[in-house]
Structure 1
Amino acid sequence: MARVIRFHEFGGPEVLRIENVEIPQPGPGEVQIRVKALGLNRAEALLRTGTYIETPVLPSGLGLEAAGIVESVGDGVENFAPGDTVSIIPPKSMVRWPAYGELVTFPAGSVVKHPRALSWEKAAALWMPYLTAYGALIDIAKLHRGDFVVITAASSSVGLAAIQIANRVGATAIAVTRSSGKREELLAFGAAHVIAAAEEDLETRLKDITGPNGVRVVLDPIGGPIVGPLTGAMTPGGILVEYGGLSPEPTPFPLFTVLSKSLTLRGYLVHEIIGDPARLEAAKAFILDGLASGALQPVIARTFPFDRIVDAHRFLESNEQFGKIVVTV
């Protein structure tokens, strides 16, 4: 028996329950992990409320990121052994392979041996934000030295990963946040410029910063009305990568701006990187090399014990965090 977190109905954080369940042995090609830390993502809050791209059968587990020690392996697994220090690359289905538990089972292809020097908390905060940001900025947009890149929701774990990746390749990171409360933190973290979208004219500020060069790359998980000023400040041939839909308002399509500038507006989910072995290996190499050099370092906003998962989800939905929320087991 092991404790897992599940929900039996859709709703707020209070629907999450800690339950004791029997955990079967890993099947062929699977690795079972004794979890030390969990990384929280907005996708889990969406699944919990019934608004995620995946619809669970209730009761359902949840969770996309974890780090821990290999407990046992199934038939055919050759690269892992009990006692290995590992972390989890987010699977395509968190309903099929949920991470919120003391003992979890994942396909061997979703498991990575991470550097032992990395803490459990940072290992659990690694793969979702850095794979997401790498896939959008490097794999798709081909971000390079001299580019201006706009990163909205900049204080999120993906936003912070994107700032680090932009700096690593020599691009200029422009962080966009709602208010000026996190301005100094973002500047200290490495953003070249910070714009408080609720307090400043976003398009005007972007044009002032970038001058005639304009913005070539935008990374945005929000959508809604912000798409107008973002595309208005983009350079001809620029690309906007949309990886979420946090805005409750409709997202207008800026037809004439897109036409006049030959812009690319690109929908993106991290699964397209994870599902392609060659692209995933390139991403892992980039991220692990960045960890080794110190250029990439996960940021932990706050940690909660396993028993306080409801409080952790409430903090997740507060939008007050700077970085990743982690639950220790």
Structure 2
Amino acid sequence: MVEPLTGDERHLGGSARRVQFSRLGGPEVLEMVPFTLPALASGHVRVAIDVIGLNRFEALFRRDHYVITPTLPAALGVEAVGAVLDTAPDVEGFVVGERVAILPIQSPVVGTGTYATHADVPVGALVAVAADRSDEQEAATWMAGLQAYTLATKVPIQRGDTVVVTAGTSSVGTALIQIARDFGATVIATTRTAARKPELLALGADHAVATDDEDLVGIVASITDGVGATAVYDTVGGALLVDLIAATAPFGHVLCYGAQTSPDIRAARVDVPLVALDRRSIAFVDLFELVESPDRLAAAKAYITDAGKRGALCVPVDRVLDFDDVQEAHRLLEAGRLAGKLLLRVTRP
């Protein structure tokens, strides 16, 4: 919980700092700068941030490899947890001092950006944090949970389905494994190497496959008595996508939400024989088709909150670094060997 702030700090942001980049490049272009928040806009809430959730697309954005080109200097951040400092006069439902999570309802930055000590965000991006939930739990949950819920409900998972989840040790992969299991599906999760298969099983997957040295198509066929997977959730792309399509059942669906094999998401391509799609569908699914639908977003918030309370959804935290170690955090993002969510904690004087 943040310490009480003075009147000037509450309304002007005090000695606020945020991360920005003024040129494109690697983690070294990230700089910590002081900034002054403008007058609080209508429909917005000012938050003192305690814990920040990091996402791989932010590293792509920094290099201009994301779907949206940055306008320099560019801020960063779409999710965090903190305490309400102030609200615009037209905002209802939140009070000063209340703990809140900031949700990724905008891309590539929410409000003034959450890689910061303070941020102004639209009230629609906030959910209250329950007293029994830690800042780390909440900061790890929402981006992963919302993206996974979007995928799992795009073509609704039915009890008895068999699904494939690639990159299962990532935060979204973990959430997908757990949500699919909660919906009653059998989950086949993949990782590149056999060394990480035990992690997938510990996360709740029914079966684990190491795609570097195992026959994914054959294993899925064996598990499903030759039928194939009802749905495949893929964030890897590249050559693996051919096998994933082959492992999909007739009238099944391949839902892509990333392309880790491509350093630039805009350069990623789908290259498969047309006949491979016979009686199968393939689509790219982004989070914002959910957050732009009020009814779907409300349902997602309710489900994720309930699943967290029941213990059905628990996204692990790989590590928590200090806010000032943001460059090191981005090196870890780009290395791609995380087991769960990477977080930054703001330390206040």
What is the TM-score with the length of structure 2 in the denominator? 0.91
1:95 Cα offset (Å) = 3.9
Map of 1:62 onto structure 2: 76
Map of 2:57 onto structure 1: 43
Map of 2:244 onto structure 1: 230
Please point out which of 112, 122, 125 is paired with 1:107. Answer: 122
Deviations 1:3-26 (A, max 9, x none): 100011111111111111111232
1:250 Cα offset (Å) = 4.2
Map of 1:151 onto structure 2: 165
Rounded to whole Å, the distance in 2 between the matches of 1:168 and 1:59 is: 43
Opposite residue 85 of structure 2, the aligned amino acid is E
Tell me if the contact between 1:35 and 1:101 (Cα under 8 Å) persists in the aligned partners: yes
1:292 and 2:306 are equivalent in the alignment: no
1:175-324 to structure 2, matched below 5 A, reads 175-248=189-262, 250-259=269-278, 262-324=279-341
Opposite residue 311 of structure 1, the aligned amino acid is E
Rounded to whole Å, the distance in 2 between the matches of 1:69 and 1:183 is: 38
1:5 and 2:22 are equivalent in the alignment: no
Deviations 1:229-253 (A, max 9, x none): 1111111110111111222374313
Question: Aligned pairs, how many?
Answer: 326
Map of 2:175 onto structure 1: 161
Which sits farther off after the overlay, 94-103 or 164-173?
94-103
Deviations 1:104-128 (A, max 9, x none): 1110001111212111111111111
Tell me if the contact between 2:140 and 2:343 (Cα under 8 Å) persists in the aligned partners: yes
1:77 Cα offset (Å) = 0.3
Deviations 1:149-183 (A, max 9, x none): 10001110000000110111111111111111211
Tell me if the contact between 2:110 and 2:121 (Cα under 8 Å) persists in the aligned partners: no
Tell me if the contact between 1:60 and 1:95 (Cα under 8 Å) persists in the aligned partners: no
Tell me if the contact between 1:7 and 1:58 (Cα under 8 Å) persists in the aligned partners: yes
Tell me if the contact between 1:61 and 1:94 (Cα under 8 Å) persists in the aligned partners: no
Map of 1:80 onto structure 2: 94
Rounded to whole Å, the distance in 1 between the matches of 2:68 and 2:222 is: 41
1:130 and 2:149 are equivalent in the alignment: no
Q: Secondary structure at the match of 2:226?
A: helix
Tell me if the contact between 2:104 and 2:110 (Cα under 8 Å) persists in the aligned partners: no
Which sits farther off after the overlay, 67-76 or 92-101?
92-101
Rounded to whole Å, the distance in 1 between the matches of 2:293 and 2:133 is: 26
Tell me if the contact between 1:133 and 1:161 (Cα under 8 Å) persists in the aligned partners: yes
Structure 1 residue ranges without an equivalent (≥5): none
1:257 Cα offset (Å) = 1.8
Opposite residue 121 of structure 1, the aligned amino acid is E
Q: Secondary structure at the match of 1:211?
A: coil
Map of 1:119 onto structure 2: 134
Rounded to whole Å, the distance in 1 between the matches of 2:276 and 2:70 is: 39
Deviations 1:266-324 (A, max 9, x none): 11100110111000001111111101111111210111000101111111111221110
What is the TM-score with the length of structure 1 in the denominator? 0.96
Tell me if the contact between 2:168 and 2:189 (Cα under 8 Å) persists in the aligned partners: yes
1:11-30 to structure 2, matched below 5 A, reads 11-30=25-44
